[in-house]
Amino acid sequence: MSDTVNPLTMLTEDELAFRDAIREFAEGEIKPLVTEMDQNAAMNQDLVKKFFEMGIMGIETPENYGGAGASFMTACLIVEELGRVDGSTSVLVDVQNTLVTNAFLKWGSEAMKEKYLPKMATEWVGAYALSESSSGSDAFALKLKAEDKGDKWLLNGNKLWITNAKEASVFICFANMNPELGYKGITAFVVEKDFPGFKVGKKEEKLGIRASSTCELLFENCEVPKENILGEVGKGYKVAIETLNEGRIGIGAQMLGIAQGSYEATLNYIQGREQFGKPISSFQGVQFQLAEMRTTLEATRLLVYNAARLKDAGMPFVEEAAIAKLYASRAAEKIASMSVDLFGGNGFTSEYPVEKFYRDAKIGQIYEGTSNMQLQTIAKMELSK
């Protein structure tokens, strides 16, 4: 892809260096494994180790905690570049950085940061456990129960559709300590995978991002130390809302990467595929579709980068994050669908990459806030002005 001169998409030297290093790594180390991981519905664990070695599992984590000390924008660039090759590795790194690490950075006590951030930057995968069977878009209809037992907390219930669950060593879990208080009873707990009473359940078989683990979590008198509360008791709803606002920009970046990868594969294919004695790229109808894809891709990049820049600058970004995720997820599906069309019969086979881009794109309109929830956020913020 070519860099535009638009100020929103101009990158600093450090950002360009990060992006180019990740692109080279993705092309050389991830791309050869994509088909195998997708077919086996399993993440290559050697690849995860390399993510830690490269420093991309603690992108924003300050250097004194063992991280890269880079910006949120850099995190989004890395998520984008991974998505350009594989949506599964992209979301693993995205959840690690834009959700779990961000939550620790913003809400963790100093003792908690010192305990968990170095591990997350060097060896531990993290997961963010909010969803349950009864609480999807209604995120605060939580039934996971937390009981204060004096010297510890006990958690009972389950979570569903938790990304990174199979690989994770630490989980941020949201439970309700007093259902009568509604959302004001929700508290965020830090749960380690070997805590008594905690278990990772079945892994879901999915349409797309198949190598990314999505599992059920089971809590049966799960013992959590008193000090393992993230933020304050009863303020878990605030932790969840504010973390997800940032995470949605990361999903926008993932969808941007998927769209970019699909577009590049299509651009290359139409120049080599011949019909009626000439490349199909010479046909005006194909050129118009290419132009539509390129325009949509550029608009997506502007929206995602703008939201990331606002977040880094400490400026309001909630509405821009919702707009970026809404548009990027729609754009990824649109571009991937057009790619399949332009590949013709080949696009419907697993021999070519666009059918996987198409499958991977669909989740963008569902997780970390459905498209309807983004529309609701945007409308509410506009009406409140």
Alpha helix positions (H), the chain? 13-25, 34-40, 45-54, 72-83, 87-94, 102-107, 110-122, 236-272, 284-312, 318-343, 354-361, 371-383
Yes or no: say if 377 and 322 are a contact pair by the CB < 8 Å rule: yes
Residue 227's CB is within 10 A of a number of other CB atoms, namely: 11
Yes or no: say if 128 and 230 are a contact pair by the CB < 8 Å rule: no
Residue located via tokens 């834009």: 98
Residue 133's CB is within 10 A of a number of other CB atoms, namely: 13
Yes or no: say if 137 and 181 are a contact pair by the CB < 8 Å rule: no
Per-residue tokens: 179: 């259902």
Q: Please name the residues in contact with 50: beta carbons below 8 A apart, sequence gap of 6 or more.
A: 25, 29
**Catalytic residue from among 132, 167, 320, 368:** 368
Annotated catalytic, 227?
A: no
Helix (H, G, I), strand (E, B) or coil at 54: helix
Any idea which residues carry the catalytic annotation? 368
